Amino acid sequence: MSPERRSGTVALVGRPNAGKSTLMNRLVAEKVAIVSNKPQTTRQRIVGILTGARGQMVFLDTPGFHKPLHQMNRQMVRLAQDALEEADVVCLLVDASTAFGAGDARMLEIMAEAPGRRVLALNKIDLVAKPKLLPRLERYAATGLFEELVPVSALTGDGCDPLLDLFWERLPTGEPLHDPGLYTPHSERFLAAERIREKVLERTRDELPYTTAVRLDSWEEQSSGRLVLHATILVERPGHKKILVGKEGSMIRDIGTAARLDLQQLLGRPVHLELFVRLEPGWRENRHLLADLDRHVIAGV
């Protein structure tokens, strides 16, 4: 007799830069979420879908829990909180390469309220000597909050298969929640805007990555098969616009070239990409603008 197929959601939660997006991409075996070494890279709830012989597992990659200073950040924390409350399994990712601090203590308080079955993944073990891992695991085990604790490296894949098995064991039986042929429900337009934002993150530093957003303005499919895209990068300060444009347009050209090559691989067709930089002071507090950016997450608009 074949085993019953399982179906459910796994929320990946934690502090910023814990490696949630890298782990989801690893487990889904597709690049669903953009990644960078900048905290708060994930601003939306990103959904990845793994469908196989055991059933369907839907991952919710969430923004990192942090102290919100802007409307955008408050929205990010709400998205993470909602995912935590909805999921069948909640996996707390902890960065093993950083010392336990107040933010980690706060995450334990948050996890204590999570209704789903709780698992802890101690991530980035490739950066830490093995003798230092045991005290971290013991500290979290002593809380009694977690059914299992698994040391993993989302980057190398070490420990990820056992973690995935634990998730499958804890999902309820049921029918798929999404089309089995999908690895994400997000629109190509949203994925394209995220890939452009990833290139901005890769090439900027200090506060600039946190004060930029990407809006896809037009999407034209030509009869030749070429895709023509126009996108705007929003910035909050004149100095940020100057940096992003670069000397004689060098920075924006570099971002555009890298994004175009990435998009051609993602979309499987030739892409012509035009990027513009627009000054939009205080956009992180602008509810209407934030709502406009949010429309692109699932819907193909």
Is residue 240 helix, strand or coil?
Answer: helix
**Domains in the chain with CATH codes:** 6-170 (3.40.50.300), 188-294 (3.30.300.20)
Segment 110-126 mean pLDDT: 96
pLDDT computed for residue 1 by the predictor: 37
DSSP strand pairing (148-151 vs 213-221):
unpaired
Q: Specify whether the CB–CB gap between 86 and 12 falls below 8 A.
A: no
Least confident among 110-119, 200-209, 217-226: 200-209
Cα–Cα distances in angstroms (integers) from residue 189 to residues 3, 28, 111, 164, 293, in the given order: 38, 20, 33, 29, 11
Q: Specify whether the CB–CB gap between 73 and 59 falls below 8 A.
A: no
Segment 156-179 mean pLDDT: 97
Say whether pLDDT at 233 is over 50.
Answer: yes
pLDDT computed for residue 300 by the predictor: 39
Provide the whole-model pTM: 0.91
